[in-house]
Amino acid sequence: MTGTAPAPFTADDYRARMDRAARQAAGAGLAGLLVAPGPDLVWLTGYTPTAVTERLTLLVLAAGREPVLVVPTLEAPDAEHAPGAPAITLRDWTDGKDPYAVTAALLDADGRFGVSDNAWAMHLLGLQRALPGTSYASLTEALPMLRAVKDAAELDLLAAAGAAADAAFEEIRKVPFAGRRETDVAADLAALLRRFGHSQVDFTIVASGPNGANPHHEIGDRVIERGDMVVLDFGGLKDGYGSDTSRTVHVGEPTDEERRVHDLVREAQEAGFSAVRPGAACQDVDRAARAVIADAGYGEYFIHRTGHGIGVTTHEPPYMIEGEEQPLVPGMCFSVEPGVYLPGRFGVRIEDIVTVTGDGGRRLNNTAREMVTVD
């Protein structure tokens, strides 16, 4: 893998993941899975091409068959060294050959295949041209829980990523906020995430004052002032696994109302966390957090779902949202991140990554959830 420390997974681990994926695909009525470079390929094989180009790289999985990685000849030496390579047959193709014909020879001509969501349209169109009888489904829609339950080694990596994000928060609360731009604090946050071991920073949201009321606001040139609430939401990848945490700080002493709204979100976050246990539905976590905010009269200001899964990406299934009846299973990891957004004024969000244990939940973020004041 490029740019990250090697994950502690063996070819046998990757073989087991590919077997499970192929079995689940068959169970979902699919002839197989087609996996392009991206998070699914990393999780299944440990392989990341140095650059994703127009040349086709595609893992073909089907129950009862050996996994095959179709790969450009010039990238085959790299692919041979992927951690999962001993469990995979490589089928290389040279420039000038038709990679879709090479792939088509591996596929049922009238099969329905799950395709990783980030596969390029040009490749899917090429396959459809080569095999007009085939049809395709989104891998994430067909097998949403494929990567959802983490094993012990994955949990250790997620916990380490969470601890690194927590360490970044402990440092950022010491830097000056008042008089600096959001972009300056965001740059500090990114540097801290890297200092504490992240190889990739996915987001560093610094949303001050009225900007905090817009959950989609990332950063801008606004100069942070005394009296501002500031939503900090940051994360990325450390050793191939994700972090994502939010804390809302106040520059100087907060007003009673700011304190009350912050306490409310903290109580909602606690309620969401307390709802985490095996067998509960994803939507139960959302309902528990939302009920606290609604009961206090702020229901219309909590304008997003309560959480999302995390693993080799920072946003993936399962989603903690009304209507998601998927039961929680030990080993699942996701955010619990309620918020209240008061238009034109301020916002508050508090977010921890939580993993499901045998009898409840365990937080992977553990910095103070009480209001922190900064300078």
Binding site for Zn ion (CB under 5 A): 227, 233, 244, 246, 258, 335, 351
Q: Which of 24, 3, 34, 12 lies closest to 85, judged by CA?
A: 12
Apex 59 CA angle, 53 and 64, nearest 5:
170
Q: Which residue's CB is nearer to Zn ion, number 40 or number 258?
A: 258
Which residue, 123 or 147, has its beta carbon nearer to Zn ion? 147
CB 58 within 8 A of CB 107: no
Q: How far is the CB of 229 from Zn ion (least distance, A)?
A: 6
| Secondary structure letter of residue 146 according to DSSP | T
Which residue in 346, 340, 179, 166 sits closest to 250, CA to CA?
A: 346
| Spatial separation of the C-alpha atoms in residues 248 and 348, rounded to whole Å | 6
The residue among 35, 29, 38 whose CA lies nearest residue 67 is 35
For 84, 99, 139, 201, the CA distances from 36, given in Å and listed in that order, are 15, 13, 11, 22
In the complex, the smallest distance separating the C-beta of residue 162 from Zn ion, rounded to whole angstroms, is 12
- Give the shortest CB-188-to-Zn ion separation in angstroms: 17
Nearer to Zn ion among residue 91 and residue 304 (C-beta): 304
Q: Which residue has the tokens 């693993």?
A: 311
Of 107 and 333, nearer to Zn ion (C-beta) is 333
Of the two residues 57 and 335, which places its CB atom closer to Zn ion in the complex? 335
With respect to Zn ion, which residue has the nearer C-beta, 335 or 365? Answer: 335
CB of 69 to Zn ion, least distance (A): 32
* Residues 4/40/232/220 CA torsion (nearest 10 deg): 90
What's the CA gap between 351 and 336, in Å, rounded?
Answer: 6
